[in-house]
Copies of this chain bind each other. A is one copy, B any other.
C-alpha cells in the first residue's frame, strides 16, 4: 500500500493512459454500471488483479474490496477450492456439443438446497434468468401482465432497462408497477392486470440505487404469495443480487414465502459467468415449452465453480459469516460517525450494506467520504448497496474502518 502515497500525476497513471486509449475504441470509454465516471473522484476504471477481499488497480494500488465485483465474488477473489474445481473441469472441457454431467449435478444441488425448487436451468446473465422467468410465467399462464416494483432493477434488456434510450414503449407494454412493500399498491396493480396477470416479479429486498435499502415485510411477501395463489400467476423472486448472501435456501425463506420461479446469478459461481432459474412443478411444463438457449449456456467450467461455491456457502454458513462481518462494519461506521458528529443512515441486510449521509441530496458527502477512504485503501460505494464476502475477516473490517475514519474527516472538511 506504500504506492498509494506516491503522488502519481493524474495524467501519467496507467489508469489515465488506459482511459485515453479506451475513449478511442470503446463508446464513452466504458459501458453501463462499470463506467467509473459514475464513481467518486479518484476511483480507478481499470483493475489488474485480486485475491481474497483485496483488489488491485492497474497502478498497483490495493483496496479492501466492498463491491466484490458488484456481487459475483461471494467467497473472496480466486478462492482456492473454486479455482481448483474450475481448473479440473477446464482440463477436460468447457463448452462442448452439449452439457456435461456437472449440469445434472448442479441442478440436483439447487433442487436439494432451495425448498421451492423442483428443477433448475442455467444461463449466463442475470437478465437471461429474469427474462426467461417472465417468458416461462407467460407460457404457463397464457397471460401477459407482469407486475414489477417501481425502481427495481431486473437487468439491462429493453423490457427492463433503467434507460429508455433505444427502447420502445411496446418493449414494456405489459409491465404494471407497484411500490415495494406497499400492499395497497400491489393490489391496485393486480386489479389493473385483471384476468391477464401472468406474474409478480420482485427482488429479494428493495435495493434501488441512492435510497435507503428496505427489507420486505412479512405481510408484503405473504400478500404477493396470496395474490399468485388466488390467481394462478407466478411469483418470481429475483435473487440475482441477493442469492446466497441472505439465505442459501432463498431470501424469502425466513419470511415463510416461497416463489414459483427464482432468478439467480452473480454470486452462484463466485465470479464465473453463470445464471440459473429454479422453479416448481407447477411451471415445469411451461419451462419445457419455451425456447431459451445460448451458445455458452452448457459451459461446464462455470458449473463446476458453482457446485463448489454452493457447497461452501452451505457448509460454512457464508450468510452468517458475512452478516457478522457486515454488522462489525456497520457498528464501526456508526461509532466513527458519532465521533465525528456526522449524521448517517445505514440500511439493508448487513451482508449487503449501504451508508447514506443525511442532508446529502447531491451525494457530495458520500463522494468525499468514498474518495478519502479509497485513498486509504477501502473500496466503498456512495449510493449502491455494497457486498461482503467470506474472505472478509475482522482485521479487514477494522482496517477498512481506519480508512473510513479518513472518509469522515473529509466529510467534516466539506462544511
Residues 29-58 of chain A: 1 if any B CB is under 8 Å from the residue's CB, otherwise 0? Answer: 011111010000000111111100001001
Residues 105-119 of chain A: 1 if any B CB is under 8 Å from the residue's CB, otherwise 0? Answer: 001101100000011
Residues 12-43 of chain A: 1 if any B CB is under 8 Å from the residue's CB, otherwise 0? Answer: 00100010011011111011111010000000
The interface residues of chain B lying within 8 Å CB-to-CB of A294 are 32, 124-127, 156
| Interchain CB contact under 8 A, A161 and B291 | yes
| Interchain CB contact under 8 A, B25 and A104 | yes
Known: A33-B293, A290-B165. A128 touches B125 (CB 8 A): yes
Known: A48-B92, A101-B48. A25 touches B168 (CB 8 A): no
The interface residues of chain B lying within 8 Å CB-to-CB of A415 are none
| Interchain CB contact under 8 A, A174 and B168 | yes
Bound: A65/B96 CA distance, A? 10
The interface residues of chain B lying within 8 Å CB-to-CB of A134 are 166
Q: Which of B49, B92, B94, B125 contacts A295 (CB 8 A)?
A: B125
Bound: A208/B169 CA distance, A? 30
Q: Which of B65, B94, B104, B285 contacts A271 (CB 8 A)?
A: B94
| Interchain CB contact under 8 A, A292 and B156 | yes
The interface residues of chain B lying within 8 Å CB-to-CB of A215 are none
Residues 142-175 of chain A: 1 if any B CB is under 8 Å from the residue's CB, otherwise 0? Answer: 0010000000000011110111011110110110
The interface residues of chain B lying within 8 Å CB-to-CB of A379 are 97
Residues 357-391 of chain A: 1 if any B CB is under 8 Å from the residue's CB, otherwise 0? Answer: 00000000000000000000001000000000000
| Interchain CB contact under 8 A, A32 and B138 | no
The interface residues of chain B lying within 8 Å CB-to-CB of A288 are 27-28
The residue among A47, A126, A265 with the most chain B CB atoms within 10 A of its own CB is A47
| Interchain CB contact under 8 A, B47 and A99 | yes
Interface locus among A67-75, A312-320, A401-409: A67-75
Q: Which of B49, B50, B125, B162 contacts A124 (CB 8 A)?
A: B125
A95 CB–B CB distance under 8 Å: yes
Bound: A379/B76 CA distance, A? 41
A177 CB–B CB distance under 8 Å: no
The interface residues of chain B lying within 8 Å CB-to-CB of A120 are 25-26
The interface residues of chain B lying within 8 Å CB-to-CB of A49 are 92-93, 96
State how many angstroms separate the Cβ of A94 from the closest Cβ of chain B.
6
| Interchain CB contact under 8 A, A108 and B21 | yes
A28's closest neighbor in chain B, by CB? B288
Bound: A210/B125 CA distance, A? 30
Can you give 20 A-B contacts (C-beta < 8 A)? A21-B108, A22-B104, A25-B111, A27-B279, A30-B99, A34-B293, A46-B104, A48-B92, A49-B93, A94-B272, A95-B272, A95-B273, A135-B158, A139-B165, A144-B168, A158-B159, A163-B289, A166-B286, A170-B170, A240-B295
